[in-house]
Amino acid sequence: MAAVLRIENLKKSYRTGRKSPRREAIDGLNLQVDAGQILGLLGPNGAGKTTTLKSVLGLVNPDSGDIWLFGEQGINAKARKKIGFLPEQPYFELYLTPRKLLKYFGKLFGLQPSGIEARISHLLSLVGLTEEADLSLNRFSKGMLQRMGIAQALISEPEFLILDEPSSGLDPLGKVHIRGILEDLRQGGTTILISSHQLSEIEDICDAVAIIDRGRNVASGCLDELLLSEDRYEISLLEPALDLSAELPPSAKWVGEEKDRLSLRRVDLNDALKLIIDNGASIAGVREERLSLEEYFTNRVKGSSEGTEE
Ligand SMILES: Nc1ncnc2c1ncn2[C@@H]1O[C@H](COP(=O)(O)OP(=O)(O)O)[C@@H](O)[C@H]1O
Ligand SMILES: [Mg+2]
């Protein structure tokens, strides 16, 4: 599969004060986004997500490392035309209306005047702002401005969409709406890179994630592989089993308040099942344990992110 973006050993340090030493914001980062993929770039605040995305776009000059876009090194005019970008804090001239703003961006991208109107109507309908098309942006809520930012990022029908924390400031409905838009884009073959510290959102949208912390890779891969915990299983019982605990294998622990879900290692599974049945309890189900991304993330970056600024 062709890589739309490949980053190798990226480094970027910032000066933190006039006399202070430089601090590594990105410290040897690797990343790959394949064509047609939705990749989630995950990490706590200060992990280096925005710096990474800005480096890709040429808005930040890395100290070292290599960035390939569409198979070519660095960002050039040709690549720029194929990329749509939603910055973390989109800034708009608030006296403009959505229609005027999109027209402006359309011209910037060299869209044919004949096609611009139709493109704008399509985008406004996509992000649910048709009725507000001629309303001044200073009357928009944060969520509406965020949707405007997405429309702006899509003006040139980009092959590669880069979104920096697209769901920040959105209410649950707004988040669902954006997820729908991204799923439609994926169907249409758009490659998407999304940064987020809000894990539950990425979980539903992304094919794969790259978890970073302090400018370094922590883990990456397909979500199912990352989230299926090493060798733990969960047995659920039809009724809480009140008398079992004394005899259970050492790896077994009850999940939650009620004694009706038991988590344990695979090697202890047979013994535990036999014990439960011998005790007259009924088994409702057995499944491999899947951590939530939050749990996984907390486990992986715990300790290492202490002291990271919010
Ligand atoms: N312009 C800058 N000057 C100095 N330090 C910066 C600058 N931009 C980012 N940083 C620092 O680099 C680190 C990574 O920041 P950033 O890329 O914004 O992380 P994220 O987007 O994951 O929250 C943080 O420690 C941040 O304080
Ligand atoms: Mg950021």
Q: What is the tens place of the pLDDT at every residue in 44-82?
A: 889 999 999 999 999 999 999 999 999 999 999 999 999
Query: How far is the centre of ligand 2, averaged over its atoms, from the C-alpha of 243 (Å)?
Result: 50
**Ligand 1 site-directed mutation target among 14, 55, 88, most atoms within 8 Å of CB:** 14
Query: How far is the centre of ligand 1, averaged over its atoms, from the C-alpha of 51 (Å)?
Result: 6
Query: How far is the centre of ligand 1, averaged over its atoms, from the C-alpha of 48 (Å)?
Result: 6
pLDDT at 38 over 80: yes
Of 42, 87, 86, the residue nearest 199 (C-alpha): 42
- Please tell me the residue having the least CA distance from ligand 1 atom 6: 14
Query: How far is the centre of ligand 2, averaged over its atoms, from the C-alpha of 215 (Å)?
Result: 12
Under 8 Å between Cβ of 254 and 67: no
Q: Residue 310: what pLDDT?
A: 36
Under 8 Å between Cβ of 13 and 22: yes
Name the strand (E) or helix (H) holding 204: helix 199-205
Task: Tell me what the pLDDT averaged over the chain comes to.
Answer: 88
- Please tell me the residue having the least CA distance from ligand 1 atom 5: 14
Query: How far is the centre of ligand 2, averaged over its atoms, from the C-alpha of 164 (Å)?
Result: 7
Under 8 Å between Cβ of 84 and 109: no
**Ligand 1 site-directed mutation target among 29, 45, 51, 308, most atoms within 8 Å of CB:** 51
Task: Give the CA count within 13 Å in the CB-facing half-sphere of 256.
Answer: 10
Domains 3-225 and 230-291 share a fold: no
Burial of 40 (0-12, 13-18, 19+ CB in 10 A): buried
Burial of 27 (0-12, 13-18, 19+ CB in 10 A): middle
Helices 142-153 and 172-187, axial angle in degrees (round to 10): 10
pLDDT at 307 over 60: no
Q: Beta-carbon neighbour count of residue 275 at 10 Å?
A: 17
Residues with CB under 6 A from ligand 1: 14, 25, 43, 45-51, 309
> For the domain with range 230-291, which CATH number is right: 2.40.30, 2.60.40, 3.40.50, 3.30.70?
3.30.70
Ligand nearest, relative to CA of residue 309:
1
Query: How far is the centre of ligand 2, averaged over its atoms, from the C-alpha of 59 (Å)?
Result: 14
Of 67, 41, 38, 22, the residue nearest 216 (C-alpha): 41
**Ligand 1 site-directed mutation target among 24, 50, 196, most atoms within 8 Å of CB:** 50
Ligand nearest, relative to CA of residue 27:
1
Q: What is the tens place of the pLDDT at every residue in 85-130?
A: 999 988 888 899 999 999 999 998 888 888 899 999 999 999 999 9
Place 270 in a pLDDT band, splitting at 50, 70 and 90. very high
Does the domain made of 3-225 have the CATH classification 3.30.60.50? no
Give the C-alpha separation, 126 to 104, whole Å.
19
User: Residue 212 is which amino acid?
Assistant: I
Task: Please tell me whether the overall predicted TM-score, pTM, comes out greater than 0.85 for this model.
Answer: no
Q: What is the tens place of the pLDDT at every residue in 129-138?
A: 999 999 999 9
**Where exactly are the structural domains of the chain?**
3-225, 230-291
Task: Give the CA count within 13 Å in the CB-facing half-sphere of 215.
Answer: 16
Q: What is the tens place of the pLDDT at every residue in 9-23?
A: 999 999 888 888 889
